[in-house]
Amino acid sequence: MYIGRQQLGGPIAKLDDISSEFDCTKTTFNVSLGATPYFANNPFALMVSIGGVVQEPVAAYTIVDNTIIFAAPPAVGTNFFAIVLATNAMAPLKSLSIGTRNSTEKLDIQGATFSVLSRTGNKIPVAFNVA
């Protein structure tokens, strides 16, 4: 029996291991969940450990799209894990129907990234995760 606060977010998940890519020089790595690119909304959504030491978000790593960027390159042979601390508790959205004047288009969005063009001409990335 669990006695404590009720979990506020959705399921907690462990990201795929990227430690095989550590080479003492590289600081940027793609992150995935079950081999599907994972887009964290900010570095505070993850608990990252390198060599058994929990890393401080922003100071030790940042997140851009589905990429983690470390402040210093991890050493060869160092272990890694990252836990997604919370996801939204809604059912996963796997496709999206967009109405047009003549028909409806259905897009498979699971793990996909799109860009939306703003009125000012800037591209704004939109990412969809597998829950």
pLDDT exceeds cutoff 90 at 51: yes
- More confident position, 32 or 4: 32
- Decide if 6 is inside a domain: no
Please state, rounded to an integer, the average pLDDT across all residues of the chain.
78
Phi-psi region of 24 (alpha: psi -120 to 50; beta: other; left: phi over 0): left
**Quick one: pLDDT at residue 49?**
96
Residue 63 counted as domain residue: yes
pLDDT (0 to 100) of residue 90:
42
Residue 2: inside a domain: no
> Residue 31 sits in which domain range?
13-84
Shared domain for 54 and 99, answered yes or no, is no
Reading phi first (left if > 0) and then psi (alpha if -120 to 50, else beta), residue 105 is in beta
The pair of structure tokens assigned to 56 is 């401080």
Asked whether residue 78 falls in the same domain as residue 107, the answer is no
5 belongs to a structural domain: no
In this prediction, residue 120 carries a pLDDT of 77
Tokens of 117: 């063009």
Does residue 89 lie in a domain region?
A: no
Render pLDDT for 82-102 as a digit per residue (tens, 0 to 9).
998 865 444 455 555 555 556
pLDDT of residue 54: 95
Query: Alpha-carbon distance 65 to 100, whole Å?
Result: 29
Cβ atoms of 104 and 98 closer than 8 Å: yes
How many independent structural domains does the chain possess?
2
Q: What is the largest CA-CA distance in the chain?
A: 56
